[in-house]
């Protein structure tokens, strides 16, 4: 006969919620659904921002840096970097930057060789839906290289970011429309349509690219960064002559430099740089002493490229980057 022995008595729990408990439970279920919904929406929004950032900025920046890095290594290793550099960059520069076209062959190579180093050192952003192209990077780098071709340390290291707007933009700082700026936070901001306009007419003494790069060089030097004693000494000498002319400009309505140069010493330098490259003969004729000091400071003379190819002499500065191709 089968005998069932129950070792553990069965226990039954009976749960009878009070009316208050039912209301509380309904509340907590509704809250939970609301919380999950909000969390889901926030999660999706956050994921989409991350996704967008990855594909819009981070991945292109990583891929861009890798490709620019590979370029600089290739240019350093190949036996004839000139041909490679020309294939890679001349198509963007030649015919658009008259300064480059007027350079003798050896300086063209020096010019092109600096482009990838400059691009690799900066982060580029487009605002208001503007997509930053290789051409834009190369041309803005070219404007910096034009200014600093005679200076060994040309990277403008303090300036890590270049921001492009499609056209003139409203500045948060001044509340005015700007075509460009170089600020102490290390950003150069440029209206792309105005940048292009600056190079379209190479003789009108207006060039936003050169103007902003001049501010960047000036700010870098004033901060005491990245330039050796020789440049700083030339800069002090330039400032002395520049101050004298700046003071004369305050008293004199008519002047070779456009009136904006009289705003302050920073604008004076930036406007001088525009005139120096776009109207060197006129500059030299009207302000010979100032012109000579600017030639000394920048270690180049745009008037002499065609007649004396060796006018731009490498300075005695030590440099981390070789400029003369093997
Ligand atoms: Zn300015």
CA of 138 to the centre of ligand 1 (A): 22
Distance, CA 211 to ligand 1 centroid (Å)?
A: 6
Tell me the CA–centroid distance for residue 265 and ligand 1, in Å: 10
pLDDT by residue (tens digit) across 70-122?
A: 656 655 655 566 788 888 899 999 999 999 999 998 899 999 999 999 999 99
Strands 187-191 and 161-165: parallel
Rounded to an integer, the average pLDDT of 222-235 is 76
Query: pLDDT at residue 246 above 60?
Result: yes
* 182 Cα–ligand 1 center, Å: 8
Euclidean distance between CA atoms 217 and 129, whole angstroms: 29
Ligand 1 centroid to 93 CA: how many Å?
24
Q: What is the dihedral of CA 24, 25, 31, 35, to 10 degrees?
A: 140
CA of 19 to the centre of ligand 1 (A): 74
Winning range, highest mean pLDDT, from 13-27, 243-257, 294-308: 243-257
Identify the structural domains of the chain with CATH numbers, from first to last: 47-304 (3.40.390.10)
Question: What pLDDT score was predicted for residue 232?
Answer: 85
pLDDT at 325: 30
CA 103 to ligand 1 center in whole angstroms: 27
Q: What's the rounded mean pLDDT across residues 51-55?
A: 59
Q: What is the Å distance from ligand 1's center to 270 Cα?
A: 6
- Residue 244 — very low, low, confident or very high, per pLDDT cuts 50/70/90? very high
Determine the 3-state secondary structure of 163 from DSSP. Answer: strand
pTM above 0.85, yes or no: no
| pLDDT, mean of residues 239-254 | 91
State in Å: Cα 215 to ligand 1 middle: 7
285 CA → ligand 1 middle, Å? 24
State the distance from the centre of ligand 1 to the C-alpha of 168, rounded, in angstroms.
Answer: 14
In tens, the pLDDT along 146-168 reads: 999 998 888 998 999 999 999 99
Calculate how far, in angstroms, residue 67's C-alpha sits from the geometric centre of ligand 1.
Answer: 33
Following CA atoms 277, 283, 285, 288 in sequence, which dihedral angle do they give, to the nearest 10 degrees?
-100
Rounded to the nearest angstrom, the distance between the alpha carbon of 119 and the centre of ligand 1 is 23
Report how far ligand 1's centroid is from the alpha carbon of 37 (Å).
51
Task: Give the pLDDT band of residue 314 (cuts 50, 70, 90).
Answer: very low
Ligand 1 center–CA 266 separation, angstroms:
7
Lowest mean pLDDT among 3-12, 133-142, 194-203: 3-12
Ligand 1 center–CA 180 separation, angstroms:
8
Across the range 22-39, mean pLDDT stands at 70
Residue 65 is predicted with a pLDDT of 60
CA distances (Å), origin 247, targets 167, 221, 250, 263: 34, 22, 5, 11
User: If you measure from the C-alpha of residue 178 to the centroid of ligand 1, how many angstroms do you get, rounded to a whole number?
Assistant: 10
> How far is ligand 1, taken at its centre, from the CA of residue 268, in Å?
8
- Ligand 1 centroid–CA 1 distance in Å is 108
Give the pLDDT of residue 321: 33
């Amino acid at each position: 006969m089968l005998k069932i022995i129950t070792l553990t008595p069965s226990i039954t729990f009976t749960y009878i919620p009070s009316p208050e408990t039912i209301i509380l439970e309904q509340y907590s279920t509704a809250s939970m659904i609301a919380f999950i919904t909000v969390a889901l929406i926030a999660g999706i929004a956050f994921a989409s921002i991350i996704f967008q950032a990855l594909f819009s900025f981070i991945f292109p920046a990583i891929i861009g840096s890798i490709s620019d890095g590979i370029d600089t290594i290739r240019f350093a290793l190949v036996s004839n970097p000139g041909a490679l550099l020309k294939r890679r960059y001349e198509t963007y520069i030649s015919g658009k930057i008259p300064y480059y076209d007027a350079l003798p062959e050896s300086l063209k190579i020096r010019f092109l060789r600096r482009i990838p180093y400059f691009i690799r050192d900066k982060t580029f952003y487009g605002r208001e839906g503007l997509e930053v192209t290789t051409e834009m990077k190369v041309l803005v780098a070219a404007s910096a290289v034009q200014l600093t071709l005679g200076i060994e340390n040309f990277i403008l290291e303090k300036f890590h970011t270049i921001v492009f707007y499609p056209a003139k933009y409203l500045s948060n700082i001044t509340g005015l429309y700007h075509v460009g700026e170089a600020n102490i936070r290390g950003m150069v901001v440029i209206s792309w349509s105005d940048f292009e306009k600056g190079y379209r007419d190479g003789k009108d003494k207006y060039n936003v690219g050169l103007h902003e790069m001049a501010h960047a060089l000036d700010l870098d030097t004033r901060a005491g960064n990245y330039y050796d004693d020789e440049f700083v000494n030339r800069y002090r000498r330039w400032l002395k002559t520049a101050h004298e002319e700046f003071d004369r400009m305050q008293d004199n309505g008519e002047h070779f430099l456009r009136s904006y140069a009289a705003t302050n010493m920073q604008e004076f330098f930036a406007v001088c740089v525009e005139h120096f490259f776009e109207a060197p003969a006129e500059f030299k004729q009207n302000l010979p002493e100032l012109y000579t000091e600017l030639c000394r400071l920048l270690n180049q003379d745009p008037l002499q490229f065609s007649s004396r190819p060796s006018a731009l002499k490498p300075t005695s500065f030590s440099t981390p980057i070789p400029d003369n191709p093997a």
